[in-house]
Amino acid sequence: QPAIPANMSSTNEATVIHMDDTTGKAPATAAPPPAAAPAPVQQQRKSGGGVPFILRSGAEGFRRCMAFVDLLLRVAAFGPTLAAAISTGTSDETLSVFTEFFQFRARFDDFPAFTFFMVANAVAAGYLVLSLPFSIVGIIRPKATGIRLLLLVCDTVMVVLVTAAASAAAAIVYVAHEGSRRANWAPICMQFHGFCQRTSGAVVASFLAVLVFIVLVLLSVFVNQLFVDHCGM
């Protein structure tokens, strides 16, 4: 250490400099590492990156809410499909005026379109019951995209099936009410009132189920598209 001058006051603090024994120079102190610049991805996430507010505030909660709506729609569609199948399957009426050799009777299996209509609605009702657990899983696990895609494909198939069956049954109901003059087909609803009322109500209920299925498909497409856009950002 260098000698302290005699004229320096004892109250002042002495500055001690440690010298290197070999070189006589003070060791260089290491500079602190520069602060890491924030990643651009993190800046975009903090600022929002153009994501809608409802996704920034809680994308998982939004998807869970849409999954709950999906569950309610499936429960709502189950009633019309089951009612259409039961109403068509029990459509059987026999006129009170008949003889021993002639009976006038109208039954759903006399028309292949009504048989197809009843089977299609029964299949749709069974599918809706089986799809309820998958919809509940979508509520518990909002990020399960595989289940959403599976339900979307099956819902689209049900839309096509029920629409075809309801359209075929509607054509038979129209002929039963109005007949066809060119084909010399007389309307039978003037005699078979109960049969026509049950089949007509079943067709209306089936078309209501078709509307619910269409809403389910559109909802699934909307939620899946939002999920893809949010993950891409």
User: Which phi and psi (to 5°) does residue 93 adopt?
Assistant: -140, 135
Tokens for 181, please give them.
């003059």
State pLDDT tens for residues 19-74: 445 554 555 555 555 555 554 444 444 444 454 444 444 566 777 888 889 999 99
User: Which phi and psi (to 5°) does residue 63 adopt?
Assistant: -65, -35
In this predicted structure, what is the pLDDT of residue 55? Answer: 44
Q: What is the mean pLDDT of residues 74-88?
A: 94
- Does residue 199 form part of some domain? yes
**What whole-number distance in Å separates Cα of residue 136 and Cα of residue 185?**
50
- From 100, 103, 113, select the one nearest 192 (Cα to Cα): 103
- Does residue 51 form part of some domain? no
Q: Average model confidence (pLDDT) for the chain?
A: 76
- Does residue 221 form part of some domain? yes
Confidence of residue 103 (pLDDT cuts 50, 70, 90): low
168 three-state secondary structure: helix
Higher pLDDT, 22 or 92: 92
- Does residue 40 form part of some domain? no
Q: What is the mean pLDDT of residues 160-166?
A: 96
Domain that holds residue 223: 56-91+110-232
- pLDDT value at 125 more than 90: yes
Q: Where are the beta strands (DSSP E) in 51-134?
A: 92-94, 105-107
In this predicted structure, what is the pLDDT of residue 58? Answer: 55
Domain count for the chain, please give it.
1
DSSP states along 186-217: PPSTTT-HHHHHHHHHHHHHHHHHHHHHHHHH
- Does residue 8 form part of some domain? no
Count of beta carbons in the 10 Å neighbourhood of residue 41: 10
- From 122, 142, 172, 129, select the one nearest 62 (Cα to Cα): 142
In this predicted structure, what is the pLDDT of residue 116? Answer: 95
**What whole-number distance in Å separates Cα of residue 211 and Cα of residue 78?**
12
